[in-house]
Amino acid sequence: MERIVLPQIENLNQIEVYLANGGFESAKKAFAKTPDEIIDEVKKSGLRGRGGAAFSAGLKWSFMPKTTDKPKYLCVNGDESEPGSFKDRQIFEDNPFQLIEGAIITCYAIGAKVAYLYIRGEYHKWIKLMQKAVDETYSRRFLGDKMKETFGIDFSCDLFIHKGAGAYICGEESSLMNSIEGLRGYPRVKPPFPAQRGLWNCPTTINNVETITNVPAIIKNGWECFSKIGAPKHPGTILFGISGHVNKPGVYELPSGVLLTDLIYNVAGGVPGNKKIKCVIPGGSSMPPLRGDQLEGVRMDAESLKEVGSAIGTGGVMVMDEDTNLLKVLIRIAHFYHHESCGQCTPCREGTGWMEKILHRIDEGHGTSADLDLLISVANNIEGNTICALGEAAAWPVKFMITRFRDEFEKYVNKNISIPVPNKVHSMRGTAVPLAEIQK
Ligand SMILES: Cc1cc2nc3c(=O)[nH]c(=O)nc-3n(C[C@H](O)[C@H](O)[C@H](O)COP(=O)(O)O)c2cc1C
Ligand code: SF4
């Protein structure tokens, strides 16, 4: 299979090598078309966002207003802070110019004159690498005012790198914009969506690094070619970052729709000691986990994972063998989302801390079976009741881990404790605990 995002070309991160392999030819090709033609081509290619929600990239671009007096912006999201996700940094390291070229083409398509590449603050090495690549692109006159002469067109754009300061929430698109504006990384209430009111209240498009890196390949080879790769409803390749109990963890570019078992056993070398798999989280820590006995036949694309009650997320696959203590895993995950909650919404601010506290109680030997129901109830009351999707990101692992591995979690609770009055969440929303039982 030909790789699109991370081609097997040595030293592709050097501009001479990138140019020798057709670098910036896609931009040239794009400039010969109208912006609407580019949007249409990307729409038809079926490219879906690689940052978590798998939304159609071309459709998102088409939301940008055609006639406006305001400047328009592109934000490229390289915050990559979800536990289990480590694929964008591979692009920064191995194929930075294709990302830059993708950003240039996207700016042209949406009519933006400025793009911001937001990179998580801890990625010192990759920030430096990307800055070097951006500087070289300017010196070769593919960015900035001089690109008008290089390409012989009446369009130019600039690209700036913006360093994050280590907050997971700044990966959420609206708090990313606040962060760029120098404000606290608080998510904004939507609508209005970024295409209506984004950076500095101007129309803005936000896409993930991997999404944007696909764009030059779509322009170069045409939308039909891209749309034929992998799963028809989620075409292209996906960078799978596989970690945990596998012999060869790493980032692998494969067609979407690859069998999860192929990814684990053939690509990532299987499980050390040939142990059985207990649990797999298929798309970064916030996605619903799958049981080991659920994996057969599961394909790695948005639609197939939806069918088995999970989601593709960022393609960060975490494998846990039969000896894994899922209570410890869940405590670690719950701690992360509690720590990263920005605190604006009560259900997220209070619920994430509450869930972590209950999990610790269970770990210390003071938890009951009712605590498991309580955890599901708290998670249900976070989900859908918050400003941003960090609420769901915190609720899903707890809710689905306990529901799908109830047998294991029942082993962790203390059967000798019985608390007469159940401490349940008071809510009119449907929870795992029947209301009649709560009212007893
Ligand atoms: C709490 C939170 C953190 C997120 N972090 C990232 C991130 O690090 N990178 C990313 O691309 N998208 C992240 N997203 C998704 C973005 O909000 C947005 O949907 C995405 O950047 C859009 O790009 P795409 O359509 O190309 O996937 C996050 C969302 C939430 C709710
Ligand atoms: S859901 Fe959590 S992280 Fe998102 S805005 Fe509300 S409190 Fe902040």
CATH of span 326-439: 1.20.1440.230
From the alpha carbon of 77, which atom of ligand 1 is closest?
11
Answer whether 74's CB lies under 8 Å from 205's CB: yes
Q: CA-based angle 100:101:103, to the nearest 5?
A: 65
What's the gap in Å between 168 CA and the centre of ligand 1? 10
Q: Is the shortest distance between the CB of 195 and ligand 1 below 6 Å? A: no
Every domain of the chain with CATH number 3.40.50.11540 lies at 15-227
Q: Is the shortest distance between the CB of 177 and ligand 1 below 6 Å? A: no
Q: Is the shortest distance between the CB of 208 and ligand 1 below 6 Å? A: yes
With tokens 């191995």, the residue in question is 94
Q: Is the shortest distance between the CB of 101 and ligand 1 below 6 Å? A: no
Residue nearest to atom 28 of ligand 1 (CA): 172
Q: How would you label 96-109 residue by residue, b for 16+ Cβ within 10 Å and e otherwise?
A: bbbbbbbbbbbbbb
Q: Is the shortest distance between the CB of 238 and ligand 1 below 6 Å? A: no
Answer whether 6's CB lies under 8 Å from 91's CB: yes
Question: How much is the pTM?
Answer: 0.95
**CATH, domain 15-227, list 1.10.10.10, 3.40.50.11540, 3.40.225.10, 3.40.50.2300:** 3.40.50.11540
With tokens 């970690």, the residue in question is 243
Q: Is the shortest distance between the CB of 77 and ligand 2 below 6 Å? A: no
Closest C-alpha among 311, 313, 314, 356 to residue 332: 356
Closest C-alpha among 308, 305, 309 to residue 256: 305
Q: Is the shortest distance between the CB of 171 and ligand 1 below 6 Å? A: yes
Q: Is the shortest distance between the CB of 211 and ligand 1 below 6 Å? A: yes
Q: Is the shortest distance between the CB of 388 and ligand 2 below 6 Å? A: yes
From the alpha carbon of 54, which atom of ligand 1 is closest?
27
H/E run at residue 102: helix 96-110
CATH topology of domain 239-321: Ubiquitin-like (UB roll) (3.10.20)
Residue nearest to atom 6 of ligand 2 (CA): 345
10-15 contacts at long range (C-beta below 8 A, 24 or more positions apart): 12/94, 12/95, 12/97, 12/98, 13/93, 13/94, 13/95, 13/96, 13/97, 13/129, 13/133, 15/97, 15/133, 15/136, 15/137, 15/140
- Cα atoms in the Cβ-side hemisphere of radius 13 Å centred on 310: 33
Distance between CA atoms of 208 and 145, rounded to whole angstroms? Answer: 25
- Cα atoms in the Cβ-side hemisphere of radius 13 Å centred on 285: 22
Tokens of 424: 């349940």
Which residues, 6 or more positions from 336, have their beta carbon under 8 angstroms from its beta carbon?
A: 83, 168, 285
Task: Give the pLDDT confidence score for residue 440 in this predicted structure.
Answer: 47
Q: Is the shortest distance between the CB of 106 and ligand 1 below 6 Å? A: no
From the alpha carbon of 211, which atom of ligand 1 is closest?
26
**Beta bridge mates, 259:** 299
Pocket test residue of 47, 80, 110, 172 for ligand 1, highest count of atoms within 8 A of CB: 172
What are the helix and strand counts (H, E) for the chain? 19, 9
Tokens of 41: 């081509």
A 10 A CB-CB count for 403 gives: 17
Q: Is the shortest distance between the CB of 80 and ligand 1 below 6 Å? A: yes
Annotate 352-410 with DSSP letters as a single string. Answer: HHHHHHHHHHHHTT---HHHHHHHHHHHHHHTTSSSSTHHHHHHHHHHHHHHHTHHHHH
Name the closest ligand to CA 345: 2
Q: Is the shortest distance between the CB of 171 and ligand 2 below 6 Å? A: no
H/E run at residue 242: strand 237-244
What's the gap in Å between 62 CA and the centre of ligand 2? 28
Name the closest ligand to CA 172: 1
Q: Is the shortest distance between the CB of 389 and ligand 2 below 6 Å? A: no
What's the gap in Å between 328 CA and the centre of ligand 2? 24
Tokens of 139: 């010196």
What's the gap in Å between 336 CA and the centre of ligand 2? 13
What's the gap in Å between 166 CA and the centre of ligand 1? 15
Distance of CA 15 to the CA centre of its chain: 28
pLDDT averaged over 10-residue windows placed end to end, the chain, 440 residues: 94 98 98 98 98 97 96 98 97 98 98 98 97 98 98 98 96 98 97 97 98 98 98 98 98 98 98 98 97 98 97 98 98 98 98 98 95 97 98 98 97 80 53 49
Every domain of the chain with CATH number 3.10.20.600 lies at 239-321
A 10 A CB-CB count for 71 gives: 14
Tokens of 372: 């498991």
Every domain of the chain with CATH number 1.20.1440.230 lies at 326-439
